[in-house]
Amino acid sequence: MNRLVLAAAVALVAVAGVGSRVRAAQVDDTTTQLNFSAADRDGDGYVTEAEIAGDMAAAFSNLDKNHDGFLTREELGAHDAAAFAAIDADHDGKLSFGEVMAYKLKQLDTFDQNHDGRYSLEEIRHFDASR
Ligand SMILES: [Ca+2]
Ligand SMILES: [Ca+2]
Ligand SMILES: [Ca+2]
Protein backbone atom coordinates (compact mmCIF):
# COMPACT_ATOMS: atom_id res chain seq x y z
CA MET A 1 0.00 0.00 0.00
CA ASN A 2 2.79 2.40 0.91
CA ARG A 3 4.51 1.57 -2.32
CA LEU A 4 1.34 2.30 -4.26
CA VAL A 5 0.88 5.67 -2.57
CA LEU A 6 4.53 6.46 -3.14
CA ALA A 7 4.26 5.52 -6.82
CA ALA A 8 1.20 7.73 -7.11
CA ALA A 9 2.99 10.56 -5.36
CA VAL A 10 5.99 10.22 -7.65
CA ALA A 11 3.61 10.20 -10.63
CA LEU A 12 1.88 13.32 -9.37
CA VAL A 13 5.15 15.15 -8.80
CA ALA A 14 6.43 14.09 -12.23
CA VAL A 15 3.19 15.10 -13.91
CA ALA A 16 3.04 18.36 -12.04
CA GLY A 17 6.49 19.04 -13.42
CA VAL A 18 7.68 19.98 -9.97
CA GLY A 19 10.66 18.40 -8.29
CA SER A 20 13.07 18.58 -11.18
CA ARG A 21 15.33 16.10 -9.43
CA VAL A 22 12.63 13.46 -9.73
CA ARG A 23 12.01 14.31 -13.35
CA ALA A 24 15.70 14.24 -14.18
CA ALA A 25 15.67 10.53 -13.46
CA GLN A 26 14.29 9.12 -16.71
CA VAL A 27 11.00 7.29 -16.40
CA ASP A 28 11.91 3.76 -17.39
CA ASP A 29 9.42 1.29 -18.77
CA THR A 30 9.24 -0.72 -15.55
CA THR A 31 8.13 2.39 -13.69
CA THR A 32 5.57 3.09 -16.39
CA GLN A 33 4.16 -0.42 -16.10
CA LEU A 34 4.10 -0.32 -12.29
CA ASN A 35 2.35 3.03 -12.27
CA PHE A 36 -0.06 1.79 -14.91
CA SER A 37 -1.07 -1.35 -13.02
CA ALA A 38 -1.34 0.65 -9.79
CA ALA A 39 -3.67 3.11 -11.54
CA ASP A 40 -5.71 0.44 -13.35
CA ARG A 41 -7.67 -0.50 -10.25
CA ASP A 42 -10.14 -2.87 -11.88
CA GLY A 43 -7.37 -4.46 -13.95
CA ASP A 44 -9.21 -4.21 -17.28
CA GLY A 45 -6.09 -2.96 -19.06
CA TYR A 46 -7.29 0.64 -19.31
CA VAL A 47 -6.90 3.60 -17.00
CA THR A 48 -10.06 5.70 -16.93
CA GLU A 49 -10.45 9.28 -15.73
CA ALA A 50 -12.17 7.95 -12.59
CA GLU A 51 -9.20 5.68 -11.90
CA ILE A 52 -6.81 8.57 -12.47
CA ALA A 53 -8.87 10.70 -10.07
CA GLY A 54 -8.60 7.97 -7.42
CA ASP A 55 -4.87 7.70 -7.95
CA MET A 56 -4.42 11.46 -7.86
CA ALA A 57 -6.56 11.83 -4.73
CA ALA A 58 -4.26 9.43 -2.86
CA ALA A 59 -1.14 11.23 -4.08
CA PHE A 60 -2.66 14.62 -3.39
CA SER A 61 -3.61 13.89 0.23
CA ASN A 62 -0.19 12.36 0.75
CA LEU A 63 1.47 15.61 -0.36
CA ASP A 64 -1.04 17.86 1.41
CA LYS A 65 0.79 17.79 4.72
CA ASN A 66 -1.53 20.16 6.60
CA HIS A 67 -4.67 18.66 4.97
CA ASP A 68 -6.15 22.00 3.98
CA GLY A 69 -7.02 20.73 0.50
CA PHE A 70 -4.28 22.72 -1.23
CA LEU A 71 -0.69 22.02 -2.20
CA THR A 72 1.71 24.87 -1.60
CA ARG A 73 5.24 25.30 -2.92
CA GLU A 74 6.49 24.43 0.56
CA GLU A 75 4.57 21.16 0.59
CA LEU A 76 5.86 20.23 -2.84
CA GLY A 77 9.48 20.97 -1.96
CA ALA A 78 11.89 21.49 -4.84
CA HIS A 79 9.84 22.65 -7.78
CA ASP A 80 9.80 24.28 -11.15
CA ALA A 81 8.20 27.71 -10.67
CA ALA A 82 6.93 27.86 -14.25
CA ALA A 83 5.28 24.45 -13.96
CA PHE A 84 3.68 25.44 -10.67
CA ALA A 85 2.29 28.62 -12.23
CA ALA A 86 0.94 26.65 -15.20
CA ILE A 87 -1.07 24.40 -12.88
CA ASP A 88 -2.20 27.22 -10.56
CA ALA A 89 -5.05 28.33 -12.83
CA ASP A 90 -6.48 30.97 -10.46
CA HIS A 91 -2.99 32.19 -9.42
CA ASP A 92 -3.68 32.08 -5.71
CA GLY A 93 -0.29 30.50 -5.07
CA LYS A 94 -1.65 27.09 -4.11
CA LEU A 95 -2.89 24.10 -6.07
CA SER A 96 -6.38 22.74 -5.51
CA PHE A 97 -7.19 19.15 -6.41
CA GLY A 98 -9.34 20.48 -9.25
CA GLU A 99 -6.42 22.43 -10.69
CA VAL A 100 -4.11 19.42 -10.50
CA MET A 101 -6.71 17.11 -12.08
CA ALA A 102 -7.58 19.59 -14.83
CA TYR A 103 -3.90 20.00 -15.65
CA LYS A 104 -3.26 16.28 -15.74
CA LEU A 105 -6.32 15.52 -17.85
CA LYS A 106 -5.42 18.28 -20.28
CA GLN A 107 -1.92 16.82 -20.60
CA LEU A 108 -3.22 13.30 -21.00
CA ASP A 109 -5.96 14.22 -23.42
CA THR A 110 -3.71 14.48 -26.46
CA PHE A 111 -2.52 10.93 -25.79
CA ASP A 112 -5.98 9.41 -25.90
CA GLN A 113 -5.33 8.47 -29.49
CA ASN A 114 -8.64 6.73 -30.15
CA HIS A 115 -10.62 9.24 -28.05
CA ASP A 116 -12.40 6.61 -25.97
CA GLY A 117 -11.82 8.54 -22.73
CA ARG A 118 -9.48 5.93 -21.29
CA TYR A 119 -5.81 5.14 -21.60
CA SER A 120 -4.11 1.92 -22.60
CA LEU A 121 -0.57 1.09 -21.49
CA GLU A 122 0.56 1.94 -25.00
CA GLU A 123 -1.00 5.40 -24.79
CA ILE A 124 0.55 6.00 -21.36
CA ARG A 125 3.94 4.95 -22.76
CA HIS A 126 3.66 7.70 -25.36
CA PHE A 127 2.72 10.11 -22.58
CA ASP A 128 5.72 9.13 -20.43
CA ALA A 129 8.05 9.25 -23.42
CA SER A 130 6.96 12.82 -24.10
CA ARG A 131 8.07 14.08 -20.69
CA1 LIG B 1 -9.32 0.14 -15.52
CA1 LIG C 1 -1.78 22.00 2.16
CA1 LIG D 1 -4.85 27.88 -7.23
**pTM attached to this predicted model:** 0.68
Distance 82 CA to ligand 3 centre (A): 14
Classify domain 2-130 by CATH number.
1.10.238.10
Q: Is the dihedral of CA 128, 85, 6, 60 positive or negative?
A: negative
Distance 86 CA to ligand 3 centre (A): 10
pLDDT score of 100: 95
| Helix (H) or strand (E) run with residue 123 in it | helix 121-130
pLDDT score of 129: 84
pLDDT in tens, 5-56: 444 544 554 554 444 444 445 668 898 999 899 889 999 999 999 999 998 9
CA-nearest of 90, 61, 91, 76 to 16 is: 76
pLDDT in tens, 47-99: 999 999 998 999 999 999 999 999 999 999 876 888 899 999 999 999 999 99
CA-nearest of 117, 103, 123 to 49 is: 117
pLDDT score of 46: 96
For 23-27, the CB contacts below 8 A with 24+ separation are 23/131, 27/128, 27/131
